[in-house]
Amino acid sequence: MSRDTQHVLLVLVGGVLVKIVLDGSYLRYVRPWSATPVLLAGVVLVVVAVVGLVRDLRGLPVGDGEDHADHGHHHGGPAAWMLVLPVLALLLVVPPALGSAAVGGPGARAAPVAAAPDDPLPPGDAPPLGLLEVVSRTAADPYGLITTRDVTLTGFLVPARAPRPGGTAPVDLARLVITCCAADASAVRVHLADPAGLLEGIGPGAGDGGPGGDPGADRWVAVRGRVVPGTGTASDGHVPTLTVTSSSLVATPEPVYEY
């Protein structure tokens, strides 16, 4: 690969890193605290490329080793420039965040984390909670405070892991949880009991895809309800059941993942 190609690749890669931090799309790949190191890495790559390019244009030595490009040995040729294409594509088209396709089938779920089930719930009428917190609380105490009040959960709809008795919907509410980055994403679920049929017609693949109108998009909903006591244990795969009292389609939240 020629030095010119190396400089271009460094500028493009660094530019992509800077861009995704400035427009906030880095949250589709990593946790919020990663913004500073990702931005610094992008700036360093761009600076290194610019410094190298200036040195080459001035004819300054670039190191102790022999510069093959200066001796007419341009390795790679047009094939080397093909490496630029995927980086350029990422610069122009930012891939979406992981969604229901990453859940990996009806059995995918994240292991519950330690939680204090007696910690008071946030104040207010049906306070918003994360799915991971609900799963953690029920895993620690399936009859705890989480089963005594209505809560509001936001997630995307996926086919239910298993049918449940008692007027349940054929869907679960799911959310992806990341520890470091999207590569380690795993899913948490809450099963939706819908005796009033409030979720009819908005299940996976129904309608026009919700906000945005994409039929293939995830169905993101905000659901209000109460956790059924005794659910969310090891016997049901740590998937608590929520009895739905109201629901509404919502836009994809930012950040899209839970932590």
Which residues have C-beta within 8 Å of that of residue 252, sequence separation ≥ 6? Answer: 97, 211, 218, 220
Q: Which of 72, 92, 112 is at the close of a domain?
A: 92
- Whether residue 80 sits in one domain with residue 11: yes
Give whole-number Cα distances, 150 to 165, 177, 191, 227, in Å.
Answer: 21, 23, 15, 8
Per the domain annotation, does 14 fall within a domain?
yes
- Whether residue 122 sits in one domain with residue 66: no
Report the distance separating Cα 175 and Cα 180, nearest Å: 16
Residue 1's identity, in one-letter code, is M
Q: In this structure, are strands 151-159 and 220-227 parallel, antiparallel, or unpaired?
A: antiparallel
Instruction: Tell me how many helices (H) and strands (E) the chain has.
Output: 5, 5
What pLDDT score does 71 carry? 47
**Phi and psi dihedrals of 247, rounded to 5?**
-155, 155
Residue 133's identity, in one-letter code, is E
Q: Which of 30, 62, 92 is at the close of a domain?
A: 92
For the purposes of burial, counting CB atoms within 10 Å of the CB of 197, is it exposed (0-12), middle (13-18) or buried (19 or more)?
exposed
- Whether residue 131 sits in one domain with residue 84: no
Q: Which of 92, 115, 144 is at the close of a domain?
A: 92
- Which pLDDT tens digits describe the chain residue by residue (259 residues)? 567 677 777 888 888 888 888 888 888 788 788 889 899 988 998 888 888 878 877 775 545 444 444 444 444 455 556 666 666 666 676 677 777 777 765 444 555 665 666 788 899 899 999 999 999 999 999 999 999 999 999 999 988 876 555 555 678 999 998 888 877 788 899 999 988 888 887 766 554 554 544 444 588 999 999 999 999 998 888 999 999 999 999 998 888 898 8
User: Residue 227 is part of a domain; what is its CATH number?
Assistant: 2.40.50
pTM summary value? 0.73
Q: Are 226 and 212 in contact (CB under 8 A)?
A: no
Residue listed under structure tokens 């994240």? 110
For residue 111, what is the DSSP state? P
Q: How many domains does the chain have?
A: 2
What pLDDT score does 133 carry? 92
- Whether residue 164 sits in one domain with residue 112: yes
What pLDDT score does 73 carry? 47
What pLDDT score does 201 carry? 76
Per the domain annotation, does 257 fall within a domain?
no
Residue listed under structure tokens 């009033």? 196
- Whether residue 203 sits in one domain with residue 241: yes
What pLDDT score does 79 carry? 57
Report the distance separating Cα 39 and Cα 47, nearest Å: 12
For the purposes of burial, counting CB atoms within 10 Å of the CB of 106, is it exposed (0-12), middle (13-18) or buried (19 or more)?
middle
What pLDDT score does 84 carry? 66
